[in-house]
Structure 1
Amino acid sequence: MRACALRWGRGGLSLRSGLLLLLIPPFLLALQLLVVGPRLPRVARAGVEEQEIAFSVISIEPERNSRQQESPSRRPGLKEEEEEVEVEDGEKREGARAYEDENEMHSRQLNCSRVLSPGQAQASQPPADSPHWLLCAEDWLLPAADRLCVAYSFSMDGGDAHFLKTVSGLGCEVHSFDPSNSNASGGHLGNSLASNHGDGGVVSQHKMWLEWRAPRKRKQKTRGNLGSVSQTLADIMAALGHHTVHFLYADLLSAEWRVFQNLIESGTLQSVHHLVATVHLQWAGFEVGGTNEEVLRYWFSVLLGLQASGLKLVHSSAGEGHSVLKQTVANGHSSYTLSWANTGR
């Protein structure tokens, strides 16, 4: 019995490492598979099955009990030999389920015969190369010509220039949010969201950022302070008087995971027709914590939650670097820009 206990003590870390190795490949492969496949000549509007969203519960406390992280919970009367076998079987089942989820994700991809490419406001056939992002330009997915078109962009340092050019060319009312932009309007929410309302093709710039937490009272900050104002997407839409955002671009620098969760849980995602977003994998992300295994499960549950909300993937583009959760992964990338269209509205 003592020998078994020693074997389990020495093998605990290796089992955790083994589980991580089981989880990382399916997660990265799922993202690798999120690439536009063979184009179909026509796209039929698909319904979305209703699905209850359950996010993996993880700890975001600054300190955790390492002994609890590395040791599975014991059930009374369970021998160490039986427990070790059960843990190994559980790992295999978890890995198998991850591959099933990955295949399910790939099956929900949307193939478009006409797309909008970066910087282009005219729909065309999908390009031969792989651009940074694509918007599905099927007629039933685009706003009607006689209706207001609304576009939001959350990005820093001009990374959304091509997106702004595209949606401006469509005649959309465009709002660009960048807390680092010194030319954008500052102040509280009401003042900073008042300019250029209703002007198609004109970009209103706001020194604001996207929040995922519930609204709370914040002290007034100076104009030059980075991120002086932040609000949830629902609050921003309400302040602007918008019920729908037809095109939304988001590069949130690792805050996207919590923002996505907020959009799913609040139901705001139902009001977004097209979403182009970059997901970052170098580290867990803002206010996301836990073991690497828990972080991977959380990320994957968020991606499945986006799909269950009606979003179908149109295109995927890999970013630079090969660091995933601070580990070098040769066949993975540190970020991916994913383009979705909402088929469930």
Structure 2
Amino acid sequence: MRTCAPWRGRCGVSLRSGVLLLLIPPFLLALQLLVVGSLLPGVARVWMGLEERDGGVAFSVISIEPKRSSPHRGTPSRRPGVAEEEAEMDDGQRRGEGARAYEDENEMHARQVRKEVGPRALEVQLWAAGEPSFTAELNRIISYITRPQMNCSKVLSPGRAQPAQSPAAPAHWLLCAEDWLLPATHKTCVAYSFSMDGGDADFLKTVSGLGCEIHCFDPSNSNASGGHLGNSLASNHGDGGVVSQHKMWLEWRAPKKRAHKRRGNPGGVSQTLADIMAALGHHTVHFLYADLLSGEWRVFQNWIEAGTLQNVHHLVAKVHLQWAGFEVAGRDEEVLRYWFSVLQGLQACGLKLVHSSAGEGHSVLKQTVANAHSSYTLSWVNTRH
């Protein structure tokens, strides 16, 4: 003490300076945490409390908030404190609930699309005999198209609009007239016919008697309206029994694969069934007749792959076997397997065969076959509508 006595003032200053030096680092650390923490919104904020304990400073954690996403730019800041926390929590819950509702809506829509008969790729079937065989493939397809898959207690036969238990005479086609398969009386009935040889006269008579809105498509019909989409497609607005003529034909190629067509091109234009229905404002075609002169196989494939068949309730179509058909190629057994794959695709879309009628001739892929015919008129009903 005597030694320090002359320097008492300086020793006191040194002791105080030492204490201050010890307090500066904790103080700077606390200040840094408070400042940096407030500037980093993405980091979990830590509320710090300062307590004097044994003459020093201690830090105690009051609460740790869960990590939140950074606010969007341009979002006005809220008043800090409890009100901000509550507002952020409510806003986060609303965003979470909105996102969840949006996801649920999309998931439900996707499930609905899958549940309905939506677009699908044509599945090529396995060989009937495990290997290429003309006889095996022919027997399989003939057996398939000559055996109805559904019995109807009431039918509509060609030219008749009144249901009967059985046709009065052998018929080229039949419509299943079960109550649950016919259009409701208070709804518009829509019928389409694609034919160039006048073979649809009885069909038109039947659907006219049902009071359907009827549309006939024939690119060779000189009485039909003009040759492009804007003029050739006009609905008769649900007038029962009235027939609208369209100088148009069915297309099976996707729009990007179609050749460019000029206005005034002979034969008019061709559109897919989905395009025609959209242009006419029809969601459903209750009755459809098609004699496509060997173009049916590619058209059927388009309907399968585009998902159009979910909106067709009754289909009457003539299939031609004497040659492969438009844009169909390959060895004979490959063509037969392709045809059978198309028929299986129709069935997978919900169509069930209710009637089969053989045409004239016995030529299949230019070969004479005694137990087969050159053409068949097939009648299907969609059991999934």
Same fold per TM (> 0.5)? Answer: yes
For 1:238, the equivalent position in structure 2 comes to: 278
In structure 1, distance between residues paired with 2:174 and 2:227: 34
1:295 pairs, out of 324, 328, 335, with 335
Q: Is the 8 A contact 1:113 1:138 kept in 2?
A: yes
Identity of aligned residues (%): 75
Return the offset for 1:125. Answer: 1.4
Q: CA shift at 1:188, angstroms?
A: 1.2
Which whole-Å CA distance do the structure 1 matches of 2:195 and 2:350 have between them?
Answer: 24
Partner of 1:167 in structure 2?
A: 207
With structure 2 as the length reference, what TM-score do the two structures score? 0.64
Whether the 8 Å CA contact 2:117–2:310 is kept in 1: the answer is no
Q: Give the partner amino acid of 1:262.
A: N
Quick check: 1:55–1:298 contact (8 Å CA) kept in 2? Answer: no
Query: Per-residue CA shift, 1:23-47, capped at 9, x if unaligned?
Result: xxxxxxxxxxxxxxxxxxxxxxxx9
1:222 and 2:264 matched: yes
- Judged with a 3 Å threshold, the aligned counterparts in structure 2 of structure 1 residues 259 and 101 are, in CA distance, closer, same or farther, namely closer
Shift of residue 133, structure 1, vs aligned partner: 0.5
Corresponding letter in the other structure for 1:266: A
Q: Which of the numbers 318, 328, 342 marks the counterpart of 1:278?
A: 318
After superposition, where does 1:1-345 map in structure 2 within 5 Å?
54-56=122-124, 90-91=130-131, 109-127=149-167, 129-215=169-255, 216=258, 218-222=260-264, 225=266, 227-345=267-385
* Partner AA of 1:220 in structure 2: R
Give the C-alpha shift of residue 195 in structure 1.
4.8
Equivalent pair of 1:56/1:294 in contact (CA under 8 Å): no
C-alpha distance in structure 2 between counterparts of 1:164 and 1:107, whole Å: 26
Task: Give, as a single letter, the amino acid of the residue that structure 2 aligns with 1:260.
Answer: F
Per the TM alignment, residue 170 of structure 1 is displaced from its structure 2 partner at its CA by 0.6
* Unmatched runs of 5 consecutive residues or more in structure 1: 1-46, 58-88
Match of 2:384, SS state, is: coil
Deviates more, 1:203-212 or 1:103-112: 103-112
- The one-letter code sitting in structure 2 at the alignment partner of 1:261 is Q
Output one character per residue of 1:277-308: Cα deviation in whole Å (capped at 9) or x when no partner. 00000100000000001000000000111111
Q: Quote how far apart the aligned CAs of 1:103 are.
A: 7.1
* 1:48–1:343 contact (8 Å) kept in structure 2: no
Q: What is the alpha-carbon distance in structure 2 between the residues aligned to residue 99 and residue 211 of structure 1?
A: 30
Corresponding pairs, count: 267
* Distance in 2 (alpha carbons) for counterparts of 1:315 and 1:251: 16
Runs of 4+ in 1 over 4 A off after TM superposition: 47-50, 92-108
Structure 2 residues not aligned, in runs of 5+: 1-114
- Structure 2 CA distance, aligned partners of 1:251 and 1:315? 16
The answer to whether the Cα contact below 8 Å between 1:188 and 1:220 also exists between their aligned partners in 2 is no
Q: What displacement does 1:126 show?
A: 1.2
Aligned 8 A contact 1:152 1:176 in 2: yes
Deviation at 1:191, TM superposition (A): 1.4
- Quote the Cα distance in structure 2 between the aligned partners of 1:338 and 1:121: 19
- Could you say which structure has the larger radius of gyration? 2
Evaluate the alpha carbon distance shift between residue 96 and residue 308 of structure 1 in structure 2; reply closer, same or farther with a 3 A threshold: same
SS of residue in 2 equivalent to 1:260: helix
Q: Give the C-alpha shift of residue 219 in structure 1.
A: 2.9
CA deviations over 1:212-231 (Å, ceiling 9, x no partner): 001247333427x2x21100
Change (3 A) 1:319 1:98: closer
Distance between the aligned counterparts of 2:144 and 2:260, measured in 1? 42
Residue 323 to residue 174, structure 1, CA distance change in 2 (3 Å): same
Q: Partner letter of residue 123 of structure 2?
A: F
Distance in 1 (CA, whole Å) between partners of 2:132 and 2:197 is 44
Deviations 1:246-280 (A, max 9, x none): 00000000000000000001100110000000000
Aligned CA-pair RMSD: 3.0
Q: Which residue number corresponds to residue 73 of structure 1?
A: none
335-344 or 125-134, larger mean C-alpha shift? 125-134
CA contact (8 A) 2:317 2:378 kept: yes
Distance 1:93-1:337 versus aligned 2 partners, 3 A rule: closer
Change (3 A) 1:48 1:297: farther
CA distance in 2, matches of 1:170, 1:303: 29
